[in-house]
Amino acid sequence: MTVPKEISNVDLPPFTPRNIISIDDLSYSYKDLHHEQIFKYEATTNVVITRLLFTLQEAYTCVWLYNGISGSDRLDLNNYILLRMLSIKADEIMDNLKNIQSFLQDDFKKIDSKCNYKLSSLISSFEGELAEECRYLRNMLHYNEEKTNFLDYIVTKHESDSTYVKTTIGSIVLNYMEPLYATISEYLNVENLKSMNDFEKIYKRLRTKIKSKMDKNN
């Protein structure tokens, strides 16, 4: 990525490409689930479940990026890119939750109740703390000669408050994406969902292929 000199008076430290590796002591595993374990409700509720699954994946992507990239107090290209990606994704994720809350109210209330109202609390807190800033960052172009661009904006913010970038990145992930990921995982009971064994996977795959062939012949 090339930064035109005419649009900024600040040269960011060079970006050193490296593998994104999140090192921890946790063991990881995967589960091969049959859809009936999760999509066991009426159509409208299953739509909400689908949207929650997308939210779960996107929220964890934010956490993964934060663990793999963040760490520097400087306004370098690592944190520049991270702030850009997280602000866009956080705005999208919370917009999705607010949309469910507004247009699928009955399902949202049932789910929120089972989550001890953590979802509505996260939405409310985000609206008061970061919604306006993330929305502003999301809608800003990288470079724009006529108006303030993304780079110039965060450079100006950093010059007035050297903690702005790190604080904003940390707040997005630690205050919202991590709790959101944990809340949805707990609601979907991911930890206790039973993974299919090899025999079950083979059986269900064969049954699907046979049914599909029979449907084509009818």
d(CA 173, CA 80): 15
Q: Give the model confidence (pLDDT) of 75-118 as tens digits.
A: 888 899 899 999 999 999 999 999 999 999 999 999 999 999 99
Between 38 and 46, the higher pLDDT residue:
46
d(CA 97, CA 103): 10
Model pLDDT, residue 35: 60
Model pLDDT, residue 4: 40
pTM value? 0.77
Model pLDDT, residue 2: 39
Between 171 and 193, the higher pLDDT residue:
171
Q: Give the model confidence (pLDDT) of 177-198 as tens digits.
A: 999 999 999 998 877 766 766 7
Between 191 and 129, the higher pLDDT residue:
129
User: Rounded to the nearest 10 degrees, what angle do helices 105-114 and 77-103 cross at?
Assistant: 110
Q: Does the pLDDT value for residue 27 go beyond 50? A: yes
